Chain A
């Protein structure tokens, strides 16, 4: 162990509000040189906000930032970079048509004597970085030809080549295979030995337990705890992350499932990339949750069922009959609707009116003889606006003028207009306010009650627990375990809020368990 650790980053009393919502409330955050520091917290805890403050993307309302003892006087990405802070981006910042070396030294290329870019020098220096880190990446390969793991390593090499003293890694392992994660860890340990401070954000606690030295946990924009990993076994981490919810969904009544006939049955369904060999049954009148981390194959499974990425193996049966779903229109014809995860691109056409968006999936039904029945468009739009209490100036206003929650309701309305029997909602509450969230969860329950089969995907476990009757835990594209919602409750707990938190902790533990099973089976 090294003697008194040198402080690489010290953030004190950082506060940041967005339109009245306090994303960060007087947060202190300190990272030492030569450590891997995990930053943990649930969705909306403030992790990405504090990283963006450190990275110079957001200007803090209050608080001070020191990097290696020097106070940051201005807040901009340039100032942060000059101070030695580098961040990888989940959406990769590499240019696919350039080589690895060209990407690493982009805009900082060495010049030869004639003032021309010296590519050979870039290749040499890139090779030196990879050698130093003992990983194999070909500096002359085109980035577009690399796998996700090698891209991630290139991204990190780019950060290192800028002599970064503080490296921020936001969910670096999401796209990586097990062996790539191992390589990344080798890499990070080398960097650590060189005195670089590494801030590591991940939802995978097994990974954090292996790579991090210390961890800081945020919840609802506040600092909860900073402690060495030895003081933070997984169940303690989960307890701190879940905490006591200030306002929750506990008030949404979870009705009893009147489970009807089998609606949808998957056996051994495999998609083009993910999922792998998934089987389950969905009944009429029930809500089935899909739990798992990013990249666990939940959304891919939804896309397979909805015909967007048709299955390559396995069988899908609807009401006991085998069906072939090769394209989205097949799924719609079979009564399947998917409310997709990326609302703005997959769900709506923002510039088009509420009414036009509402009928997008039923154009052939409202235009039986070629010409659309405008009275029916009005009827459908007005019906959905009333039924889902969508707040819009009129049905002719562009969807882009609506709030996020109301946009999501338009997407849901559009799919209800297809009169589906099976409704899949992928992260239906992402990026919308708590009031609309509760409304949407209630709607999900109502839909099940009215005899539909509903599948919900959500990263917010409290939501899944409130909405669902059964929960399928997924990891690495596979289905691991089907949990009955009732079994997650603690019968001795009478306070619904405490009970929800207890269930959330259990579900967290199951999700993390599923991950470790994956690692064990891959050796």
Chain B
């Protein structure tokens, strides 16, 4: 039996549009390595910084890969992460670190169930459900924190959730690897992942095949909010505080990471590895542009242009 050819390099480049993200990642890395060498781009500390800055986006983007693959979208992730930093910080101050963790998970679960319920039972498109939720989550975070930062005075919590490091390796990197590993196996190898891809690839065919597509959509939205809550817990740990501004605008980077990685905005196609590379690429571009000494305004423009270029190159020619 012919094994699905574990591709020789030729096939990899023949499908270069599909693999543009990996090629692009290497190309940009080399360009930065050469041009920014004197500014310390290749310095291990700088590289680990990229990982630190990327971890939260990556965690959310893994879940977003499931959401997009199922043909839905979640715009509320950034705001939910922000809300979670606040609920975690407040819970820690009264109930300790364990209480904080439980409060964080509960926040994600509650928002996710609400998003999923509105989308699959009431029938509001997830675009609208989660757009509204973005405002609600941010509003609640501002309201309960009185728009002030809530400090976290638990070194243990801060170490585990984002602040610590094992030797030179930041704890955040373990979180990212853990979530990426679980996500990759779940999407590629689990029955659930197959149902997600089938639901997004052809909802009618999936339904006719006995897949409960509403339940799949419900589950991916819950998953996404829980991942956003975890990202919020990491923000809170890393910055030792909860504030409503944390995670603001992350939804765009998260969606961009997944799409850059080859996940279809229209469902049915997605890879977690691609998403992780997409997230790292965005982090690397951010980092490189800062080292180049570009102004924030210029960074935004350059980043937008690079993302458009990458996605345009990955499109199939008609």
* A contact residues vs B (CB 8 Å cutoff): 306, 308, 327-329, 331-332, 338, 340, 342, 345-352, 356, 359-361, 363-364, 366-367, 370-372, 374, 378, 382, 394, 396, 414
**Which of A340, A347, A356, A371 lies at the interface centre, i.e. has the most chain B CB atoms within 10 A of its CB?**
A371
B2 interface residue per 8 A CB criterion:
yes
| A361-B268 in contact (CB<8A) | no
How far is it, in angstroms, between the C-alpha of A360 and the C-alpha of B203 when the chains are bound?
Answer: 12
| A360-B198 in contact (CB<8A) | yes
| B191-A396 in contact (CB<8A) | no
B192 interface residue per 8 A CB criterion:
yes
| A352-B212 in contact (CB<8A) | no
B195 interface residue per 8 A CB criterion:
yes
| B204-A346 in contact (CB<8A) | yes
B182-198 residues at the A interface, CB under 8 angstroms = 185, 189-192, 194-195, 197-198
**Which of B1, B195, B208, B269 lies at the interface centre, i.e. has the most chain A CB atoms within 10 A of its CB?**
B208
- Give the nearest-CB partner of B192 in chain A: A370
Known: A367-B190, A370-B190, A370-B191. Is A328-B197 also a contact (CB below 8 A)? no
| B202-A350 in contact (CB<8A) | yes
How far is it, in angstroms, between the C-alpha of A308 and the C-alpha of B211 when the chains are bound?
Answer: 11
| A372-B202 in contact (CB<8A) | no
Complex interface: chain B residues within 8 A of A342 (CB): 204
How far is it, in angstroms, between the C-alpha of A378 and the C-alpha of B4 when the chains are bound?
Answer: 10
How far is it, in angstroms, between the C-alpha of A112 and the C-alpha of B210 when the chains are bound?
Answer: 55
Known: A367-B191, A370-B192. Is A328-B1 also a contact (CB below 8 A)? no
How far is it, in angstroms, between the C-alpha of A121 and the C-alpha of B203 when the chains are bound?
Answer: 43
How far is it, in angstroms, between the C-alpha of A370 and the C-alpha of B191 when the chains are bound?
Answer: 6
How far is it, in angstroms, between the C-alpha of A306 and the C-alpha of B208 when the chains are bound?
Answer: 8
B136 interface residue per 8 A CB criterion:
no
- Give the nearest-CB partner of A340 in chain B: B208
B310 interface residue per 8 A CB criterion:
no
The contact sample of 26 A-B pairs, CB cut-off 8 A, is A308-B207, A308-B208, A327-B212, A328-B208, A328-B210, A329-B212, A331-B210, A338-B208, A345-B202, A345-B205, A346-B208, A348-B205, A349-B201, A349-B205, A349-B268, A352-B201, A352-B268, A360-B198, A360-B211, A363-B194, A363-B195, A364-B191, A370-B191, A372-B191, A396-B4, A414-B209
Chain A: minimal CB distance from B109 (Å): 21
B206 interface residue per 8 A CB criterion:
yes
Number of A-B contacts (CB under 8 A): 82
| B1-A329 in contact (CB<8A) | no
Chain B: minimal CB distance from A18 (Å): 22
* B contact residues vs A (CB 8 Å cutoff): 1-2, 4, 185, 189-192, 194-195, 197-198, 201-202, 204-212, 268-269
Partner of A347, one of B191, B198, B205, B269: B205
- Give the nearest-CB partner of A338 in chain B: B208
Complex interface: chain B residues within 8 A of A349 (CB): 198, 201-202, 205-206, 268
Partner of A371, one of B189, B198, B204: B189
Chain B: minimal CB distance from A349 (Å): 4
Complex interface: chain A residues within 8 A of B197 (CB): 352, 356
How far is it, in angstroms, between the C-alpha of A331 and the C-alpha of B209 when the chains are bound?
Answer: 10
Besides A349-B206, A352-B197, A378-B1, 20 other CB < 8 A contacts?
A306-B208, A308-B208, A328-B207, A329-B210, A329-B211, A345-B202, A346-B208, A349-B202, A350-B202, A351-B201, A351-B269, A352-B201, A356-B197, A360-B198, A366-B191, A367-B190, A367-B191, A370-B190, A371-B191, A394-B2
| B210-A332 in contact (CB<8A) | yes
| A360-B189 in contact (CB<8A) | no
| A345-B191 in contact (CB<8A) | no
How far is it, in angstroms, between the C-alpha of A372 and the C-alpha of B205 when the chains are bound?
Answer: 20
The 5 A-B residue pairs with the shortest CB-CB distance in the complex, in nearest-first order: A367-B191, A349-B201, A349-B202, A329-B210, A361-B209
Known: A328-B207, A351-B201, A360-B205. Is A372-B194 also a contact (CB below 8 A)? yes
How far is it, in angstroms, between the C-alpha of A352 and the C-alpha of B202 when the chains are bound?
Answer: 9
Known: A328-B207, A349-B268, A378-B1. Is A372-B189 also a contact (CB below 8 A)? yes
| A346-B205 in contact (CB<8A) | yes
Known: A346-B208, A372-B191. Is A352-B2 also a contact (CB below 8 A)? no
| B268-A351 in contact (CB<8A) | yes
Partner of B190, one of A356, A372, A378: A372
How far is it, in angstroms, between the C-alpha of A338 and the C-alpha of B205 when the chains are bound?
Answer: 11
| B202-A348 in contact (CB<8A) | yes
- Give the nearest-CB partner of B264 in chain A: A351
Complex interface: chain B residues within 8 A of A371 (CB): 185, 189-191
How far is it, in angstroms, between the C-alpha of A62 and the C-alpha of B246 when the chains are bound?
Answer: 69
Chain B: minimal CB distance from A421 (Å): 16
Chain B: minimal CB distance from A383 (Å): 12
Complex interface: chain B residues within 8 A of A370 (CB): 190-192
Chain B: minimal CB distance from A46 (Å): 31
Chain A: minimal CB distance from B187 (Å): 11
